[in-house]
Amino acid sequence: MGSGKKPTDEEIDLFRRSVGPVRTLTSDRVAPASRSRPPRPRPVRAADADGTHIDTFSDMFDAGKVTPEDRLYFARPGLQQRLLQRFRRGQLAAGDELDMHGMSAAQARIAVLAFIDECRAHGSRCVRIIHGKGYGSAHDAPVLKNRLNSWLRQHHDVLAFSSATQRDGGAGAVYVLLRAQHD
């Protein structure tokens, strides 16, 4: 058929039998794939009386100052590069979510500790923390974003964190990869 001549009736018939029944397309657009459900927000409780949420965060640890639009990224050595790529692209489903909007730094500190403990207890490995960009903060410095950047680097159960994709909050949220729970 590559010679430019028209196919014979026999060739057309053979082609139609090979392809089978067809229908005319009404549109050439592809329907977007459905997004996975957003993670369910989990209520965070303060530290238990028995000391389950041990605070090991130091406010003296300086991870460097970040601006509202800066993108955060941290990964412990030894993690697979392919896993980190998928993680940074938001391709790992976030199991749980913590929204820190409106919290003071002290409230956020307790909430982050409790959230990580509860997520690990429930087996969540990838979670999302919404910290906001801090446009309402004094001196144009995002307080919660800077603190979270420091705290997550110090927590031994945090393997990696990265600013979320635009659809999940962009520079106002982070994905957090947690160490697996071992009994």
Q: How many other C-beta atoms are found inside a 10 Å radius of the C-beta of residue 91? A: 12
Average pLDDT over residues 111-126: 91
- Select the more confidently predicted residue: 49 or 16: 16
Pair 149, 72: CB distance under 8 Å: yes
Angstrom distance (rounded) from CA 37 to CA 112: 23
- The CATH code of the domain at 42-178 is 3.30.1370.110
Q: Is the pLDDT of residue 146 over 80?
A: yes
Residue recorded with tokens 């990696």: 160
pLDDT, tens digit, for every residue of 30-85? Answer: 776 666 666 665 554 444 444 455 556 656 556 668 888 889 999 999 999 999 99
> What are the residue ranges spanned by the domains of the chain?
42-178
Write the CA distances from 117 to 45, 79, 92, 93, 123, integer angstroms.
11, 21, 20, 19, 10
Residue 159 in this model has a pLDDT that exceeds 80? yes
Distance separating alpha carbons of residues 83 and 147, to the nearest angstrom: 26
3-state secondary structure of 59: coil
Residue 56: its pLDDT value, please? 60
DSSP output for 92-139: SPP-EEEE-TT--HHHHHHHHHHHHHHHHHTT--EEEEE----TTSGG
Per-residue pLDDT band for 173 (boundaries 50, 70, 90) equals very high
